Amino acid sequence: MSELTRPIAEEARNGHRPRVVIVGGGFAGIHAARGLANLPVDVTVVDRRNHHLFQPLLYQVALAVLSPADIAQPIRSILRRQANAQVLMDEVVELDVAQRRVRLGSGAQLDYDYLVLATGATHSYFGHNDWEPYAPGLKTVEDAIEIRRRVLLAFELAERHMVEHGWHPPLNFVVIGGGATGVELAGAVSDIAQLYMRHDFRHIDPTKSRVLLIEGSPRVLGAYPPDLSAQAEATLHRLGVEVRTSTHVTVVGPGWVEAGGERIEAVVTLWAAGVQASPLGQMLGCPLDRRGCVVVDDRLNPPGVPEVFVLGDLAHLEQDGRQIPGVAQPAMQMGDHIARILAADLAGQPRPAFRYFDKGDMATIGRMAAVAKVEWPFKAHLTGMPAWLTWIVIHIFFLIGFRNRFSVFWNWVWTYFTFTRGARLITGDQHLPGWNHLEIQVDESDRGR
């Protein structure tokens, strides 16, 4: 553990309030900020966006169950009553670790005594950024709205095409990546096609859609125990999702995907395969792992900079020989830990080590099924409806404002009992990348329905 070069405890006794700059208003950043409410420090949260996002439910916005406002809340509102916190909607463009200063996109500079970096991760196309227009990923509200637009538009364009030509390009939806996001997206697309759209069209048959989930490794949900992976795959099969494991995607084009040597026509392709850390990590000049995450010790510091903390998905932290996963729970816990460390500094005590307390993890697979690896308060592997009920309770419980909790719950109840998706709006333009290609290229034998 490195030592602070400044006598923070002594300075604080002399009336200096340490300035804490937190970059990123995700789970880690918000938990860090709230945890500092009762310490004699001044907190500034900087985020490019004005809202905190409940990321685990973002796929439900993408697939038209929830509205963005159900799972997002202005960071300003979350911290409005915290007198020692302020929020700036801005972007950090420069880190000066030596001078303890960050420069923002607007030109303003913020001096800090402590810097907390929690800017998370974004999708990675493994060097193929040209694939992005053909296969959007899911990280922001805008991403979710774009995915929603594409999936809903595909059905509309097919119906329109059917009226004009008497046939339509096959409704193949391809999801690349079989982690939690990929499994959730595939299950939800299948739900839309099989359940929610069933009675809405007069010419096409949405239930004839195909959903393909492509995963490079031998099993889906690779971070879960093998029995839960197998269960997830079985559930996906039951929903009609074709799962192709050990299959590598080699090219993503407009309206098609090349995977395992085969070319697959795809009316919509979604990307859930790769993740890379926010570029802010590079500015630190500290060691990074291959995804760009900053390697930190168990005090959450990169080597040699005890006044800088890196949390959440941006951090690479090993515990018991395994890397702590980039999901919500560890991010929240790391955020909470910041207050403990700063309290120790202010008291002139040694900093407590961070230890991730794994309560488990879960992923939904379509309507009313899920897999859950429960670690606390008991150990269990849950599947099917019990896992799904656990999932729904936990996710509602952890939603930050009460209004959202209520509204989300209501939307779910409504959706699950009426089979009517509430937020099925198409906004933006009516262009689907690759549609023209599909209209022209599909040969007669392949023609849908």
Give the footprint of its own copies on this chain (CB under 8 A).
48-51, 67-70, 72, 74, 76-77, 80-81, 86-90, 104, 106-108, 141-142, 145, 152, 156, 159-161, 163-164, 199-203, 401, 403-404, 406-407, 410-411, 414, 418, 420, 422-428, 430
Least distance in Å: CB of 405 to its own copies?
Answer: 11
Q: CA 387 → CA 6, 220, 238, 321, 392, distances in Å?
A: 49, 17, 17, 28, 9
- Per DSSP, 193 falls in state I
| One-letter amino acid of 128 | H
10, 159, 164, 184: the active-site residue: 184
Least distance in Å: CB of 200 to its own copies?
Answer: 4
102, 115 Cβ separation under 8 angstroms: yes
Q: Classify residue 269 as left (phi > 0), alpha (psi -120 to 50) or beta.
A: beta
Least distance in Å: CB of 437 to its own copies?
Answer: 16
Continuous H helices in 319-434: 328-347, 384-398, 402-418
Least distance in Å: CB of 99 to its own copies?
Answer: 17
Is residue 217 classed exposed, middle or buried when 0-12, 13-18 and 19+ CB atoms within 10 A define those classes? middle
Q: For residue 242, give the 3-state DSSP assignment.
A: strand
Cα distance between residue 59 and residue 47, in whole Å: 22
Cα distance between residue 378 and residue 360, in whole Å: 10
H-helix or E-strand containing 146?
Answer: helix 141-165
Least distance in Å: CB of 403 to its own copies?
Answer: 5
173, 182 Cβ separation under 8 angstroms: no
The yes-or-no answer on residue 184 being catalytic is: yes
Q: Which is nearer to its own copies, 69 or 380 (CB)?
A: 69
Q: Which is nearer to its own copies, 106 or 129 (CB)?
A: 106
Positions annotated as catalytic residues are 184
